Amino acid sequence: MAKTMAYTYEMAQPVAAVYATIMASQLAYFNSRNAGIHELAVGTAVTTTLRTKTDKAPVAAMMTVTALIPERTFTLKVSYAAGEITTTYQLSPTARGTKVTYSETNTFKKRNFERSFSWVGWAYTLLYRHNIKKRMQWIEQSAAGESKVGDSNDAANI
């Protein structure tokens, strides 16, 4: 069973600047794990170690870009021993600037992992909303040139 959480945020920046910021931050992360990655495309993948929501110990994971539609969509799949997490940035223009919907879908291989997530899921949902709002604000500031990619202290967690 999959659990999807979504957060929508409207930014006063144009779609092109917001998309460029998202892509630059994702590329910086991929490049920090594999210095040979200089461009993101569907199928670009990197191995990494991330913390999970249900276990404090870091776990090995594979991050793969699964969808790229310039100035519209960026989707990333994180595969690890217990399951998969698919994260998507969906962008659309508004009169004010850009509406960004960030979604995260968690899928688990075993039922006991699902139960573990349900125990921490309510708390995670609260933290999720808080952290995603901070991430959206950082993207908006970066797109406006008020901060630069790499300034974020957003540690990757799955």
pLDDT number for residue 107: 84
Top CATH class of 2-143 equals alpha beta
pLDDT (mean) for 52-64: 81
Task: Give the chain's mean pLDDT.
Answer: 84
- Return the domain boundaries, the chain: 2-143
DSSP E strand stretches across the chain: 2-11, 45-51, 58-69, 73-80, 83-93, 98-108
pLDDT number for residue 155: 39
pLDDT of residue 11 exceeding 50, the answer is yes
Residue 88 or 108, more confident: 88
Residue 155 or 31, more confident: 31
Residue 139: count of CB within 10 angstroms of its CB: 26
pLDDT number for residue 98: 97
What count of Cα atoms within 13 Å lies in the side-chain half-sphere of residue 153?
0
pLDDT of residue 65 exceeding 80, the answer is yes
3-state class of 113 per DSSP?
Answer: helix
